[in-house]
Amino acid sequence: MKKRQGINSYWRNVWQRFRTRGAGRLALRSLTLFVIIALSSPFVANERPWYIKVEGKSYSPLLKGLLVDLGVAKWPTALMPAEDWADKTYDRIVFTLIPYSPRSIDHKNLNARGPFEQQRIKSWRFRHWMGTDKSGRDVAAGMLHGTRMALWLGSIMVGIAILMGLFLGGIAGYFGDQGLIVSKSRIWAILLFLPFLCFYLAYLPGVPEEASAWTHGFHQLTYLFLYLILVFSLDRLLRLMLPKLGRYVVPLDTLLMRLLEVVDAIPSIILVLALIATLEQPTTTYMMVVVGIVSSASVARFVRAEFLKVRQQTYMEAGRALGFTHLRLLFRHALPNALGPLLVLLSFSMAAAIVTESTLSILGIGAPDRVTWGSILGELRGQHQIEWWLALFPGLAIFFTVLTFRYLSEALSEALGEK
């Protein structure tokens, strides 16, 4: 209880120091605003109306459409076909603030109409306040939904990088080259079934290629779980049959660091471009997963350095003397004390992830049906005449988002006493 109170007191002090930094408070408010925009974007910019009344009945196409997109509902007969809402006649209709979805094409305003140019619209209600791109898509709707995509894809990349880096760097820093002692029977079991695991993870026999990414991921996790069962079962059998096999000291730190150096030496953009050649329809999410895996190498080195410092602390020595398990020492003692610097790294990594996603989208890498800030900027490729609104609005959004995370990380670093 006293230890928990001490931890709570520590984080309260960190929060108090963070609040005294004006830049940190401003960055936190800015991040909150971005999150609110990301969550509310489907309800602010959508071609589906909030409310319609037809044949004496009331409907909410926007809310109904969200359920249809999730596959839990179907469109009522009165609303079929569910498109071109503005061209139909209803008893009453209430549109969203921006009556366009990010992929809605206004055929009357093609070839990039500017926000101050004359637009072919029925009324001011349907004006494109930030203009359109060359395909006739509303830039304002794309900007709002691009906020959600930027935070979502950035979170995927950072989440994978942090989780893998925390795992690899944590065990490398905690065990070092002398701390991990493994029975030879377990090593034999791991090496025996490893080729089969690699084959099944790579080819996924029995799973059609057109299956969703979630299906592929589920089967990969299933094969990994079965692999672990086989390894532990064979390990137990070999221990019973050959009790005098002995143990082996695994130089875990050296092995992982050499592996991470190889991975970190490969530029993430080059690796993504190489993987595109192996995929028929590369998606932005898949690309960010790959970038996250590559970025985990630098995170792992940072986490390793923190765990090397924590491992030498007195409370860790006391825990080992009391016979605490490795899991307890790792998760209840080492990790909480290395969490502060990791939060600073998380903020910096989020800024880098948004820049990486924008770079990939500008290069035209990813799903063409997803509108992001980078894809709006990518509309300027090959254009002799630069449409300023296609560069200004997404450019400012990327700039302020990255600046927000940079100031947030600096304020966290100062509050944690890292500077």
Highest mean pLDDT pick, 31-40, 254-263, 292-301: 31-40
User: For residues 102, 104, 110 and 115, what is the CA-based torsion angle, rounded to 10 degrees?
Assistant: -50
Q: Please tell me the distance from the alpha carbon of residue 393 to that of residue 374, in angstroms, as a whole number.
A: 11
What SS3 state is found at 374?
Answer: helix
Q: Please tell me the distance from the alpha carbon of residue 342 to that of residue 166, in angstroms, as a whole number.
A: 9
Strands 180-183 vs 57-59: parallel, antiparallel or unpaired: unpaired
Which pLDDT does position 382 carry in this prediction? 65
Q: Please tell me the distance from the alpha carbon of residue 269 to that of residue 286, in angstroms, as a whole number.
A: 13
Section 208-215 average pLDDT: 70
Put residue 367 in one of left, alpha, beta given phi > 0 → left and psi -120 to 50 → alpha. Answer: beta
User: What are the residues facing 182 on neighbouring strands?
Assistant: 248
- In this predicted model, what pLDDT tens digit does every residue of 369-404 receive, in sequence order? 678 888 888 887 766 677 888 888 999 999 999 899
Q: Please tell me the distance from the alpha carbon of residue 413 to that of residue 291, in angstroms, as a whole number.
A: 25
Least confident of 14-18, 25-29, 34-38, 133-137: 14-18
User: What are the residues facing 86 on neighbouring strands?
Assistant: none
- In this predicted model, what pLDDT tens digit does every residue of 69-78 receive, in sequence order? 777 778 777 6
DSSP single-letter state for residue 125: G
Q: Please tell me the distance from the alpha carbon of residue 286 to that of residue 258, in angstroms, as a whole number.
A: 26
Which pLDDT does position 34 carry in this prediction? 92
- Tokens for 229, please give them: 């069962």
Least confident of 136-150, 234-248, 363-377: 363-377
Q: Cβ contacts of residue 211 below 8 Å, gap of 6+?
A: none
- The predicted model scores a pTM of 0.78
- Tokens for 331, please give them: 């998760």
